[in-house]
Structure 1
């Protein structure tokens, strides 16, 4: 079983800034089509304006990330992560390449009215602080909240996929857990030439989504649910967040489930948390459960 979605890049809500600027440039060029614009539709001045505004916006968003950033070769990402972790000066999280860093920066400021044009968020309020998100996570009851989240996302959709079957236990788990993916190109498997690592001011990896305001788009849980779920799994399995980009989380567990029954329960909870790893990945629960017994790496991806 392969994760076919790894080869299918998609346009998502957190990429809307490029579309917003391109749309504005299209209007400047007098050639907008159904609210969308392509490079071929824009006049030279509009293209230059769009490109300049996009570069400036990306620089502004990166500058708004208040965390130290260390850049290394992709092949050195894990060794550098360990070095930074051992220094004890915050939790290092591997972000990925330049595009991944831009996505993280976009999401961090997505709901910040000070960072976006007024027309993008005419009535936006200030985003929650990390402390507020962590406090809210204290009231999230995991794993019950994960099942409720899945029901809220898919329960009222008549066309949504149903609860997946348990399926057959696989003879091989080589494709059930992709492993550490953040520092490499998912199409070629080659490490990125350069990878960014952010130092988050917390000793707890499960608090990283709060500091990055990560989540709450499409079928991805809110930051509060991420914090609660990751904390729950940290206490039970020693799971730590190692890498995170615009739509993917890589975790590493120090304790694996010891029985098939325990692994299936964990797989079910992970499905509630991130249905796409089954709906668009393993298809049934047993391959995911088997992978959790055979690998320390956990993989989550949201469409």
Structure 2
């Protein structure tokens, strides 16, 4: 029977799980791409388990300014290809690779990766029964966020009520939420992960912040909803943070309030860590910062 990782990646990418299992058993680490005529791409090169980048990774990197030599890295059983940015900011390299990956429809998606990220930072993968949700998460993401929000509202009686937060506290939380992402060359590599869109990146790794009562597939549903509505794309994957760049941010305060409540539903610490009082009031304090904001940083610790 195909492994959970193979079945999840199949549900997300449309590649048959058996094909992914065959590739993994050969050491490829890459899911074959769904292509015209059913052709599969990506294989292991070298005897005895020695690996080299599959042809689609080589083609993806060829001629891209700033792309170093790719090295394989195991992330909780998922093989990634990690590329150091040479003479270019990691974010610029990530953007160039994302553009090319979308144009060529290859089964690899780039993300700036925290160099310290290890298996301990990856949450336990969802239970196999949850794979069934993978093909429907686009429709479920908004509903899941609404349910999470109502649960937070129900817990309002347990929140501290020490008066409104100080202007300095509000400004600090807003700055953390929408501050620009500037990964440094040499510290934060770009990883190519077996995904076909940015919203899939946490799910294919089983990434879910520890202690957040958050399943990887539920988070993927929220990410897809935000990507479709706001053009919000995961560009950075850190230990307990996600960084998204936003192409179509809310243009007015009413839309920003709606978005703020969704962001707080997914990452409650945005509103509950330093902003005492009712959660709705705390989320509304974040809303002005989201109007026209090009960056979101979601954190869980």
CA contact (8 A) 1:133 1:223 kept: no
Map residues 1-303 of structure 1 onto 2, 5 A cutoff.
62=75, 64-72=77-85, 76-88=89-101, 89=106, 90-97=108-115, 99=116, 101-102=117-118, 105-108=119-122, 111=124, 128=128, 134-135=134-135, 137=137, 140=140, 142-152=141-151, 155=154, 159-160=158-159, 175=175, 177-181=177-181, 183=183, 191=184, 193-215=186-208, 217-281=210-274, 284-303=282-301
Q: TM-score, normalised by structure 2?
A: 0.59
User: Normalised by the size of structure 1, how large is the TM-score?
Assistant: 0.59
Ranges in structure 1 where 5+ consecutive residues have no aligned partner: 1-58, 113-125, 184-190
The DSSP-based 3-state class of the residue aligned with 1:243 is strand
Q: Matches of 1:217 and 1:172 in 2, distance apart? A: 24
Are the aligned partners of 2:114 and 2:239 in contact in 1 as well (CA < 8 Å)?
no
Distance 2:171 2:214 in 1: 32
Task: Please give the per-residue CA displacement for 1:172-212, whole angstroms capped at 9, x wherever unaligned.
Answer: 997263424473xxxxxxx3742122212222111112101
- Given that 1:94 and 1:242 are in contact with CA atoms closer than 8 Å, whether structure 2 keeps it comes out as yes
CA contact (8 A) 1:73 1:195 kept: no
3-state SS in 2 of match to 1:203: coil
Does the 8 A contact of 2:164 with 2:275 survive in 1? no
Where does structure 2 lack aligned partners over 5 or more consecutive residues?
Answer: 1-71, 277-281
Q: State the aligned residue count.
A: 217
Q: CA RMSD in A?
A: 3.9
Higher relative contact order (CA 8 A, sep 6+): 1
